[in-house]
């Protein structure tokens, strides 16, 4: 009996386990927005598997992991919650199947109109800010949550910090924080909160909730895939011209009725053969609406993509930030999508043309260089660290929206097998002014 127990214990030691699940946002959440989880896994060094997270949003999120030499790993996994009573569950999978599962034990505190600020517990002013009630001049409360800055870059790169309006870090930690796309969409990185924080929280950060009727209504009125429509029109014109020429030549040479029929059939056969050889074979197209936020250091493209076409679709690959958006909670709950985060790219499985789901993606168009030389308004070249950039200051601004030629815009940030067309229906630029 003792030897059997020892064997069981040895076998259990060779299997990884979920040791702890906690939120990066201190237990705060917003309905329909990403909730970043930090999952701690322990087990034998070198083990490779994946973790899968789910809540009540109708889709799962998975991410591969590998245990390091110490036999432990912290993996960031975002999920979307809709209701306060949502069951947030994480499943640990290995090559042979599920190895264990665990739910988030701590209750979630849902935010409404509050601004959420993550603050480093090691910041000198941590105690003073977290012990007082803070509100903006508009009356919007400011909620502070202790969080480790080591998790912020990774969460921001995956778009998982969309519920956060600002972060407070020390000068030493701020040097390593880029968070470019998140900051370009309104997130505030602050090192001196008494001087800058409230002014830079005046405008909330941009969020893309899972339930958004406006975004979900974006759909193309033309049911054709553009490339197939153009090909069909071209071949119809060619067929009509070829049919006329062959029949006219036969008639002008006084051919009989059978020769006229043969000429017509010959034109039809040649048309069918050419049409079958050159007609686009794919059945999937991307149709997107795109807005480009102009920033001198880090322009960002926001795309709303619709899948068009017919048939089954394989994996669809997006960029670093993506969010499925539906018109109603019912549509969101009945979608059986799986999003897999692999090496900074999102892979979506289960999407189908004609579904009411739209995919909102955010793509950074140019990497930020902390020591880049640029020219200011007075024509003087200067160098700056990111925190000194005027663009990232959250102060009241004027902005201008102007249409842009879709041919000059960035490509649709998605790829899949069988795609024959990627079309941008409407593109505009948002230029921010002081």
- The domain ranges of the chain are 2-109, 111-200, 213-221+283-433, 226-278
Give, for 261, the enclosing helix (H) or strand (E): helix 257-278
At 309, list the tokens: 């076409």
Distance in angstroms (rounded) separating the CA atoms of residues 352 and 29? 29
Q: Is the dihedral of CA 411, 414, 415, 420 positive or negative?
A: negative
pLDDT tens figures, 374-411: 454 456 654 434 444 444 443 344 455 566 677 667 77
Question: What integer pLDDT is reported at residue 386 of this predicted model?
Answer: 40
Instruction: Kindly list the distances between the CA atom of residue 307 and the CA atoms of 20, 280, 302, 345, in Å, as whole numbers in the listed order.
Output: 38, 17, 16, 18
At 420, the pLDDT band (50, 70, 90 cuts) reads confident
Distance in angstroms (rounded) separating the CA atoms of residues 89 and 99? 14
| Residue 47: partners with Cβ closer than 8 Å, 6 or more residues away | 16, 66, 67, 94
Average pLDDT of the residues of the chain: 81
Question: What integer pLDDT is reported at residue 30 of this predicted model?
Answer: 95
Q: Which fold has domain 2-109?
A: Immunoglobulin-like (2.60.40)
Phi, psi values for residue 401, rounded to 5°: -110, 125
Do 147 and 119 contact (CB within 8 A), yes or no?
Answer: yes
Q: Which spans in 279-400 are helix H?
A: 329-333
Distance in angstroms (rounded) separating the CA atoms of residues 296 and 238? 49
Distance in angstroms (rounded) separating the CA atoms of residues 64 and 76? 11
Distance in angstroms (rounded) separating the CA atoms of residues 90 and 293? 35
Distance in angstroms (rounded) separating the CA atoms of residues 313 and 430? 33
pLDDT tens figures, 300-339: 788 889 888 877 788 999 887 889 998 888 787 766 789 9
Specify the higher pLDDT residue, 60 or 328. 60
Distance in angstroms (rounded) separating the CA atoms of residues 306 and 57? 19
* Cβ-defined contacts of 65-68 (< 8 Å, 24+): 65/41, 67/16, 67/41, 67/42, 67/43
Do 189 and 299 contact (CB within 8 A), yes or no?
Answer: no
pLDDT tens figures, 143-168: 999 999 999 999 998 889 999 999 99
Strands (E), 226-313: 284-294, 300-309
| Residue 104: partners with Cβ closer than 8 Å, 6 or more residues away | 21, 23, 37, 88, 89, 90
Specify the higher pLDDT residue, 288 or 427. 288
Instruction: Kindly list the distances between the CA atom of residue 137 and the CA atoms of 191, 207, 210, in Å, as whole numbers in the listed order.
Output: 21, 22, 29
Q: Is the pLDDT of residue 413 over 70?
A: yes
Question: What integer pLDDT is reported at residue 281 of this predicted model?
Answer: 78
Distance in angstroms (rounded) separating the CA atoms of residues 32 and 210? 5
């Amino acid at each position: 009996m003792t030897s059997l127990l020892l064997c069981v214990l040895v076998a259990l030691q060779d299997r990884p386990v979920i040791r702890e699940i906690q939120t990066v946002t201190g237990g705060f959440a917003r309905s329909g927005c990403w909730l970043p989880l930090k999952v701690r896994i322990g087990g034998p060094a070198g083990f490779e598997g994946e973790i899968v997270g789910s809540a009540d949003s109708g889709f799962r999120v998975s991410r591969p992991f590998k245990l390091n030499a110490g036999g432990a790993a912290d993996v960031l996994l975002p999920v979307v919650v809709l209701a306060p009573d949502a069951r947030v569950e994480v499943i640990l999978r290995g090559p042979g199947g599920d190895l264990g599962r665990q739910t988030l034990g701590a209750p979630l505190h849902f935010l409404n109109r509050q601004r959420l600020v993550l603050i480093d517990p090691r910041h000198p002013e941590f105690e003073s800010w977290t012990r007082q009630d803070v509100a903006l001049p508009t009356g919007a409360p400011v909620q502070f949550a202790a969080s480790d800055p080591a998790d912020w870059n990774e969460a921001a790169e995956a778009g998982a910090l969309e519920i956060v309006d600002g972060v407070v870090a020390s000068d030493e930690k701020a040097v390593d924080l880029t968070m470019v796309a998140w900051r370009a969409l309104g997130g505030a990185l602050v090192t001196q909160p008494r001087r800058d924080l409230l002014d830079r929280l005046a405008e909330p950060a941009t969020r893309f909730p899972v339930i958004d009727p406006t975004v979900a209504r974006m759909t193309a009125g033309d049911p054709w895939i553009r490339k197939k429509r153009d090909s069909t029109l071209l071949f119809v014109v060619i067929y009509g011209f070829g049919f006329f020429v062959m029949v006219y030549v036969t008639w002008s040479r006084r051919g009989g009725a059978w020769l006229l029929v043969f000429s017509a059939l010959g034109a039809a056969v040649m048309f069918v053969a050419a049409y079958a050889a050159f007609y686009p074979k794919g059945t999937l197209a991307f149709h997107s609406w795109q807005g480009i936020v102009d920033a001198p250091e880090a322009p960002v493209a926001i795309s709303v993509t619709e899948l068009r076409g017919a048939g089954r679709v394989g994996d669809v690959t997006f960029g670093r930030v993506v969010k499925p958006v539906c018109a109603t909670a019912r549509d969101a709950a009945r979608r059986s999508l799986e999003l897999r985060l692999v090496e900074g790219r999102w892979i979506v499985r289960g999407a189908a043309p004609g579904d009411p789901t739209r995919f909102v993606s955010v793509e950074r168009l140019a990497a930020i260089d902390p020591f880049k030389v640029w020219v200011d308004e007075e024509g003087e070249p200067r160098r700056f660290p990111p925190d000194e950039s005027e663009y990232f200051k959250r102060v009241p601004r004027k902005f201008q929206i102007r249409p842009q030629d879709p041919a000059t815009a960035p490509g649709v940030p998605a790829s899949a097998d069988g795609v024959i067309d990627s079309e941008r229906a409407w593109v505009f630029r948002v230029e921010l002014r002081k």
